Structure 1
Amino acid sequence: MVAVPAGPVTLSDRRTQRRWEVAVGAYRIGAFPVTQALYAEVTGEWPSVARGGRLPVESVSWPDAIRFCNALSRREGRDPAYRLDAASDHVEWNRAADGYRLPTEAEWELACRAGTSGPRYGELDEIAWYRGNSEGRLREVGGKRPNAWGLYDMLGSVWEWCWDIYDAEVYGGYRVLRGGGWFDEHWSCRASVRRRSHPTFRVDDVGLRLVRSGSA
């Protein structure tokens, strides 16, 4: 886990042409997307289409990601960040918990940019697996250059679930995905790009990255 200092980040949405600033508190974020080996170790499950311990876990839904965060928290003796109502699928975030959770999209973008202001934190072929260089398959984590804060695969590889609802008035409970994936064109692999998905969606280019609140 890499410590990220508190700071502001400006988010934008091409569809609505809206920009908004968010103040983000200090937090820690995984240096890599969650791997299949870690997911299997915690849950006993291998949901991914492509198989390999150091490949990012994929084909996980948003509720799958939530349950994984809580399971890993319990395994390490931490307070789970989420309260789940199995009957209604309602999820509440306990912001005082020290357990693992999904990033907000503001946390995700702040971490991805790592102090940069352009569309990417480096030359795309050097930092990301995407359609132009992945040869049509998922690749192991950490194979490309990290950003200035030591975070790998923030762009390309797999899209990463975030906590946020995309646009409740238009899309209901659809959640935000960030980062672009191994089969995406270059324009999807940018720090500002927002994708939406129904939370039950499972596909072979969607995974997750862990966050914990606070700097400790």
Structure 2
Amino acid sequence: MDLSAHHTMITVPAGEVTLTDRRTQRSWPVALAAYELADVPVTRGLYAEVTGQRPGSAGGDRLPVEGVSWWDAVRFCNALSLRAGLRAAYLPHGDGDGVDLDATADGYRLPTEAEWEYACRAGTDGPRYGPLDDIAWYRGNSGESPHEVGGKRPNAWGFHDMLGNVWDWCWDVYDAEVYGGYRVLRGGGWFDEHWSCRASARRRSHPTFTVDDVGFRLARSLPAR
């Protein structure tokens, strides 16, 4: 399967990022090993090629897939890994109610929110890596619909659509004590006002929910050295 027609996996160097949560006024540093992240969100075309399904609204193959749950994203990662001859990163529980991450696997997975924000910032420290209209589809310029991936200016590390177009599911639980198993969303979407399209903005959703402005992008762990 030739994945290069759909996305490019970019190696992100090791580093550290400080995450913040405006709701709790909390911040915490996270050290990161090097990893890979896709330059664009998963497209409708790639999702259909792997799963045979086209969730969300109608549109072309280069639109970001949306209307997918966190569980859909996890299952897609494992299916794509199998197609690519890689070891699956996710190990579903036998009861179907949970999943573990095999951090040593070379297969596809969702980024952690720290990996997502570190790649989004690409060495910058402000709310965005460029003028919003140049880098993102959001309520002010989207015409209230998603757009083909890669149409806006990338950040300094080559990542497109980190802000706007569709939110990205991340691996992390948002706040287990308050919200149970709700998972983290990052990046803002085509229907959001400008204040949601920031590198530090955090949103949450139940892992079974599907929304028309939520998709995901792929990550991979690199072998330990």
Of residues 112-121 and 49-58 in structure 1, the stretch that sits farther from structure 2 once superposed is: 49-58
Distance 1:215 1:124 in 2: 35
Paired amino acid for 2:184: V
Which string of whole-angstrom CA distances, capped at 9 and with x for unpartnered residues, describes residues 83-103 of structure 1? Answer: 112524210000010000000
Paired amino acid for 1:139: H
Q: How many Å apart are 1:33 and its aligned residue?
A: 0.2
Q: Of 41, 47, 53, which aligns to 2:55?
A: 47
Paired amino acid for 1:31: D
Q: What's the counterpart of residue 12 of structure 2?
A: 4
Q: Of 5, 16, 21, which aligns to 1:13?
A: 21
Q: Determine if contact 1:3/1:215 at 8 Å carries over to the other structure.
A: no
Q: How many Å apart are 1:176 and its aligned residue?
A: 0.1
Distance 1:154 1:173 in 2: 24
Q: What's the counterpart of residue 34 of structure 2?
A: 26
Distance 1:214 1:148 in 2: 21
Q: What's the counterpart of residue 168 of structure 2?
A: 160
Distance 1:57 1:31 in 2: 15
Q: How many Å apart are 1:48 and its aligned residue?
A: 1.7
Q: Are positions 1:182 and 2:190 aligned together?
A: yes
Q: Of 117, 120, 133, which aligns to 2:125?
A: 117
Q: Are positions 1:198 and 2:202 aligned together?
A: no
Paired amino acid for 1:93: L
Paired amino acid for 2:106: D
Distance 1:122 1:99 in 2: 32
Q: Determine if contact 1:4/1:215 at 8 Å carries over to the other structure.
A: no
Q: Are positions 1:173 and 2:181 aligned together?
A: yes
Q: How many Å apart are 1:136 and its aligned residue?
A: 1.0
TM-score by length of 2: 0.94
Within-5 A mapping of 1:26-175: 26-85=34-93, 87-175=95-183
3-state DSSP of counterpart to 1:201? coil
TM-score by length of 1: 0.98
Paired amino acid for 1:121: Y
Q: How many Å apart are 1:50 and its aligned residue?
A: 3.4
Distance 1:150 1:131 in 2: 23
3-state DSSP of counterpart to 1:2? strand
Distance 2:26 2:86 in 1: 37
Structure 1 segments of 4 or more deviating over 2 A?
85-88
Long gaps (5+) in structure 1: none
Long gaps (5+) in structure 2: 1-8
Q: How many Å apart are 1:214 and its aligned residue?
A: 1.3
Among all aligned residue pairs of Structure 1 and Structure 2, give the percentage whose two residues are the same amino acid: 72
Q: How many Å apart are 1:130 and its aligned residue?
A: 0.1
Distance 1:173 1:33 in 2: 23
